[in-house]
């Protein structure tokens, strides 16, 4: 079945760039998403990329998509302590729902 994998933890220093990686298995994916979840809260859509794009930039966020390798990454420039959260990569499933990775916990140290 469709699957999404991502590393579980990432720790960076404030001001550095963070790169969160994700791989997926569904070759027919049309949209791929990045969501942010702060403790005890719901999901906040950060950005998404259409499958015919290689890159999308939105302020401090850069999404890179390698469709051949089914690899997606999220780069956060100038990472701040407020960026500490769990980041979920998600693939649009064949039923229209989202299939989530396990989430990457980003810790930002001052």
Contact set with other proteins (CB under 8 A): 35, 40-45, 48, 88, 95-103
- The vertex-64 CA angle with 12 and 48, nearest 5°, equals 95
Give 76 or 99: the residue with its C-beta nearer to other proteins.
99
- Using the minimum distance from each CB to other proteins, give the nearer residue, 43 or 61: 43
Distance of closest approach, residue 109 Cβ to other proteins, in angstroms? 20
Question: Minimum distance between the CB of residue 68 and other proteins, rounded to whole angstroms?
Answer: 25
> Which residue lies nearer to other proteins by CB, 7 or 14?
7
Phi, psi (degrees; rounded to nearest 5) at 6? -150, 155
Displacement of CA 44 from its chain's centroid (Å):
12
How many whole angstroms separate alpha carbon 56 and alpha carbon 28? 19
């Amino acid at each position: 079945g469709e699957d999404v994998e991502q590393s579980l933890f990432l720790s960076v220093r404030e001001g550095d760039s963070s790169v969160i990686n994700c791989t997926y298995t569904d070759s027919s994916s049309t949209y791929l998403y990045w969501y942010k979840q702060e403790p005890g809260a719901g999901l906040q859509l950060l950005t998404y990329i259409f499958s015919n794009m290689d890159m999308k930039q939105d302020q401090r966020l850069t999404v890179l998509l390698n469709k051949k390798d089914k690899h997606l990454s999220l780069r956060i420039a100038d990472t701040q302590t407020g960026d500490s959260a769990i980041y979920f990569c998600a693939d649009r499933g064949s039923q229209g729902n989202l299939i989530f990775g396990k989430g990457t916990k980003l810790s930002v140290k001052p």
